[in-house]
Structure 1
Amino acid sequence: MKQKRDLFLCITCLLIAFLLTLANDRSNDEALAARIAPEILRFHVLANSNSTQDQNLKLKVRTMLLNSIYEDLGENASLEDTKTYIRSHESILEKKAENYMKNLGYNYPAHMELTDCYFPTKTYGDMVFPCGTYEAVRVKIGEGKGHNWWCVLYPPLCFTDSSYAVVPDTSKEILRHSIDESDYLKLRKEPVKIHVKLKVLDLLPVNKKTAISQNPQ
């Protein structure tokens, strides 16, 4: 009976320690986000629904708007330039999105605004942005009840396929000079080193291991 009680206490302590670690990590991430958020503008697109058609439409509207925004802003736009552009072009971009969707056969309204949003931790190329509240350009398509898509509009880190994205050095330099150096280093994703070992070799006699290493197939 005592062994069962000790085991239960041990498991409980481990669980509490694990939950405390998670809470501490999240707190640290949110604190980091609060420090860097003033220098960052996110981009957030909400689909009308989770249907395959609406999700595909969301990605098409996203790409169209991003291309339009970056083309109009040019390469040397600052954070304030980007915000000013969005504020002055909200209705124009909304209409552009609506006309684009109509041409694709959808009669959804589009709503764009600058607002504060809570974002989960997200990786862009070799940069990891912590969870927390950021200012964002939010685009709502139709009911806006479907899965959303997000990226970093400034510095320019928006990619149509972030799985294969490589963050441009120019964007990294903008970010590096905008925030504290120690915070910048925390955003850099360390490469994961994977060591593969064939466990079966450990079960073979020494002479067989040698034979395999000397006579590769």
Structure 2
Amino acid sequence: MKKLDVILLTGLIGSILFSNLAGFGNTLDNIEHEVLRLHILANSDTEYDQNLKICVRDRLLENSEELFGGCETLDEMKQRANEKLDEINDMVLDVIHEKGYNYNSKTQLVNMEFDNREYGDITMPAGTYDALRITIGEAKGHNWWCVMYPPLCIPAAEEADGDMQTAQSYFSEEELDIMENPENYKVKFKCVEMFRGIRSKLEEMF
């Protein structure tokens, strides 16, 4: 094979691989932009503080219909969360005081980095997600999280197979396959992570 033919063939293969990887990256971006997460960070990792975190979680889930009932889109959910930040924080403080603690708490709507996280039968890919973030006290303990939108934990976090059925109705087949079978995409995940790192450094430079 002539040298020019090798160069052209290599370029063609590279172009196909890059196009495929770009498509995968776009799918990951879509997942990130379709989700609102709930993130509760405990004061510390002591048994008492971790139990308090769970009590806060339970109170929020018990009142999820009151807080978020009627929200049918991601934008509606984020708008409602933003409108009720003070109300949610008061609810958190009520739990803290009921349990005999005097910690402060902060409730914010943020955009933050997450690692790969398993949730039931699916794995949410690492990335930057919008989140309703609640920090308790010094916020140095392990966190609890779930997906608020699509409503995988709200309003019925305990229903058998409820989260999977909800996920199937909100995400595309391609997105679901990535979340259900992340082991099949390890190389692509690594490549996208590398390209995102390079892009981030270039953005900082310019």
Q: Shorter-normalised TM-score: what interval?
A: 0.5 to 0.7
Q: Which residue of 2 aligns with 1:3?
A: none
Q: State the shift of 1:106 in Å.
A: 0.9
Map 1:58-137 → 2, pairs under 5 A? 58-74=53-69, 77-137=72-132
Q: Which residue of 2 aligns with 1:34?
A: 29
Percent identity of paired positions between Structure 1 and Structure 2: 35
Distance in 1 between residues matched to 2:25 and 2:100, nearest whole Å:
41
Structural RMSD (CA): 2.9
Query: Would you say the 8 A contact 1:175–1:184 is kept in 2?
Result: no
**Ranges in structure 2 where 5+ consecutive residues have no aligned partner:** 1-21, 183-206
Q: State the shift of 1:98 in Å.
A: 0.5
Query: Would you say the 8 A contact 1:46–1:146 is kept in 2?
Result: yes
Q: Which residue of 1 aligns with 2:175?
A: 183
Assess, with a 3 A threshold, how the Cα gap between structure 1 residues 52 and 30 changes in structure 2: closer, same or farther. farther
Query: Residue by residue, what CA displacement relative to the aligned partner does 1:156-189 show, whole Å, maximum 9, x if unpaired?
Result: 1228xx899634355224422xxx4322322224
Query: Residue by residue, what CA displacement relative to the aligned partner does 1:13-72 show, whole Å, maximum 9, x if unpaired?
Result: xxxxxxxxxxxxxx9997653231111001111101111100110011011112223443
- The aligned amino acid for 2:43 is N
- The aligned amino acid for 1:150 is W
Structure with higher Rg: it is 1
Distance in 1 between residues matched to 2:28 and 2:107, nearest whole Å:
23
**Ranges in structure 1 where 5+ consecutive residues have no aligned partner:** 1-26, 191-217
Query: Residue by residue, what CA displacement relative to the aligned partner does 1:107-127 show, whole Å, maximum 9, x if unpaired?
Result: 111111111121121222222
Distance in 2 between residues matched to 1:102 and 1:120, nearest whole Å:
32
TM-score by length of 1: 0.64
Count of aligned pairs: 159
Assess, with a 3 A threshold, how the Cα gap between structure 1 residues 116 and 149 changes in structure 2: closer, same or farther. same
